[in-house]
C-alpha cells in the first residue's frame, strides 16, 4: 500500500490504541499515511512521528500526486 488516506476515527482513542493501529499498518507494509481531521490530533501527531517523512497533511482540496 503506497498511501493510506482517510479519517481513521481515532479521536477518542488513547495513545496505546493508536500505537497498536500504527504498528498494524506498518506490519501490513503501508508506506505513507494521510490522516484527516477525524483521526484526531493525537493520532495525527503520532502518525507523523512514526511515519517520519512519510505523512501527508490531509484536508479539503488536498491534491496528492503519486
Query: For position 64, what pLDDT does the model report?
Result: 82
pLDDT value at 66 more than 80: no
Query: Would you state the cell numbers that stand for residue 57, as one nine-digit string?
Result: 497533511
**Mean pLDDT on 56-62:** 86
Query: For position 59, what pLDDT does the model report?
Result: 81
Query: For position 62, what pLDDT does the model report?
Result: 84
Query: For position 27, what pLDDT does the model report?
Result: 98
Report the mean per-residue pLDDT for the chain.
Answer: 94
21 burial level (CB within 10 Å; 0-12, 13-18, 19+): middle
Is 54 in contact with 29 (CB distance < 8 Å)?
no
Query: For position 52, what pLDDT does the model report?
Result: 96
Amino acid at each position: 500500500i503506497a498511501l493510506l488516506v482517510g479519517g481513521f476515527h481515532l479521536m477518542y482513542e488513547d495513545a496505546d490504541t493508536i500505537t497498536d493501529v500504527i504498528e498494524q499498518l506498518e506490519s501490513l507494509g503501508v508506506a505513507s499515511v494521510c490522516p484527516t481531521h477525524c483521526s484526531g490530533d493525537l493520532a495525527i501527531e503520532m502518525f507523523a512521528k512514526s511515519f517520519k517523512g512519510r505523512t501527508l497533511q490531509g484536508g479539503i482540496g488536498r491534491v496528492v500526486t503519486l
